[in-house]
């Protein structure tokens, strides 16, 4: 190809490239009060996350919530903190996913892979600007949420386009759709479950698929999240060949006084133990990476609930993380969404 000769005084022009930006929820920079407060303030100020009127919510947020919750959340994060890297597991896994995806896409030299957090660092604005500066005229945004919700996928897309609004020369943008029913994703979950269960010294009587909850009012307004979660569980149960009732769907991590999607995970764990279930396993299909909600809330808190109510053996099935199965899902979806660009 003939090289394009530019005038001597022309600004430098980088080669045309394609960017892939993996985006996960977010993470505090530390477990102390002020890093936790900054993170929670950004997260809980998002209108997609808390839809209450600002005049009602902001006094509550800036008052009791940000006065008390940073200490409580910081103590929970401290239990799972990656002390070797001095960061949360979510940041560790997201970086690893981006690094491994870059290796898998090495045969496509025009592609640059990066990663960001919706809340906290590295910010989406920072990494989008970096990709543009590297010559990326086309960027694929990948919200790492298999099931769509306005409070997760949509807010990632919002933030991406907000960053573009400040750019004079905007790259072309694609966003990855939900992949809750993709065969590669269902297969990866099934393989992970089978591998974990085969390593246990007991066979669970019941397996819970616990998804992050959303307020019932969001579902009532048309959010498809509940339907996506139910479909994932149904397809997963069919793929495993399990009888009806062995895999049940619940929702965790509720916040505030509103009613959230039911059944609640913690109440279900307690009820199962009260009803005589002695062996239980829990997985988190809606989480691409293990994080506070899986490692502390499920693997620790809910394990304690189960034992306190008479349960005997509890297992937490890990998320896909940067495993072979997890990376197969990410690379398959990325390569599909890059069609026509590479």
Tell me what the mean pLDDT of segment 93-118 comes to: 97
Strand partners, 87: 82
Counting Cα atoms < 13 Å in the Cβ hemisphere of 189 gives 28
For residue 14, pLDDT over 80 is answered with no
Write the CB contacts of 2 (distance below 8 Å, at least 6 apart in sequence).
none
Gap between the Cα atoms of 342 and 335, Å rounded: 9
Angle at 140 between CA 137 and CA 142, to 5 degrees: 155
The pairing of beta strand 172-175 with beta strand 247-252: unpaired
Q: Are 122 and 111 in contact (CB under 8 A)?
A: no
Residues 205-260: tens digit of each pLDDT: 999 999 999 999 999 999 999 999 999 999 999 999 999 999 999 999 998 889 99
Instruction: For residue 7, name the pLDDT band (cuts at 50, 70, 90).
Output: confident
Q: Please tell me the distance from the alpha carbon of residue 320 to that of residue 285, in angstroms, as a whole number.
A: 8
Residue 5 confidence (pLDDT) above 80: no
Q: How many CB atoms lie within 10 A of CB 15?
A: 9
Task: Give yes or no for residue 117 having a pLDDT over 50.
Answer: yes
For residues 317 and 315, give the distance between their C-alpha atoms in angstroms, rounded to a whole number: 6
Return d(Cα 254, Cα 216) in angstroms, integer.
Answer: 11
- pLDDT reported for residue 6: 59
Domains of the chain: 17-178+325-337 (3.40.50.1400), 183-316 (3.40.50.1400)
Distance CA 205, CA 246 (A): 7
């Amino acid at each position: 190809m003939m090289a394009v000769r530019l005038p001597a005084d022309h600004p430098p022009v980088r080669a045309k490239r394609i960017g892939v930006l993996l985006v996960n929820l977010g993470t505090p920079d530390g477990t102390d009060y002020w890093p936790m407060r900054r993170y929670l303030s950004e997260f809980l100020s998002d209108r997609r996350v808390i839809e209450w009127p600002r005049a009602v919510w902001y006094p509550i947020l800036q008052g009791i919530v940000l006065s008390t919750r940073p200490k409580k959340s910081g103590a929970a994060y401290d239990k799972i903190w990656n002390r070797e890297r001095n960061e949360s597991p979510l940041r560790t896994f997201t970086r690893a996913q981006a690094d491994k995806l870059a290796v898998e896409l090495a045969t496509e030299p025009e592609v640059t892979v990066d990663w960001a957090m919706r809340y906290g660092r590295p910010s989406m604005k920072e990494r989008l600007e970096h990709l543009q500066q590297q010559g990326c005229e086309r960027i694929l945004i990948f919200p790492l949420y298999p099931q769509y919700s306005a409070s997760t996928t949509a807010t990632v897309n919002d933030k991406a386009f907000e960053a573009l609004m400040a750019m004079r020369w905007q790259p072309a943008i694609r966003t990855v759709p939900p992949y809750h029913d993709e065969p590669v994703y269902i297969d990866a979950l099934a393989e992970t479950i089978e591998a974990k269960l085969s390593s246990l010294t007991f066979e669970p009587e019941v397996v819970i698929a616990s998804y992050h909850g959303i307020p019932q009012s969001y579902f009532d307004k048309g959010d498809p999240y509940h339907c996506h979660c139910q479909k994932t569980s149904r397809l997963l149960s069919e793929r495993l060949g399990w009888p009806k009732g062995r895999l049940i769907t619940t929702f965790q991590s509720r916040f505030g006084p509103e009613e959230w999607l039911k059944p609640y995970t913690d109440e279900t764990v307690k009820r199962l133990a009260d009803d005589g279930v002695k062996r239980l396993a829990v997985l988190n299909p809606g989480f691409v990476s293990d994080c506070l909600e899986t490692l502390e809330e499920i693997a620790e808190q809910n394990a304690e609930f189960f034992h306190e109510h008479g349960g005997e053996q509890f297992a937490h099935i890990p998320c896909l993380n940067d495993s072979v199965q997890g990376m197969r899902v990410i690379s398959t979806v990325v390569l599909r969404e890059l069609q026509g660009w590479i």
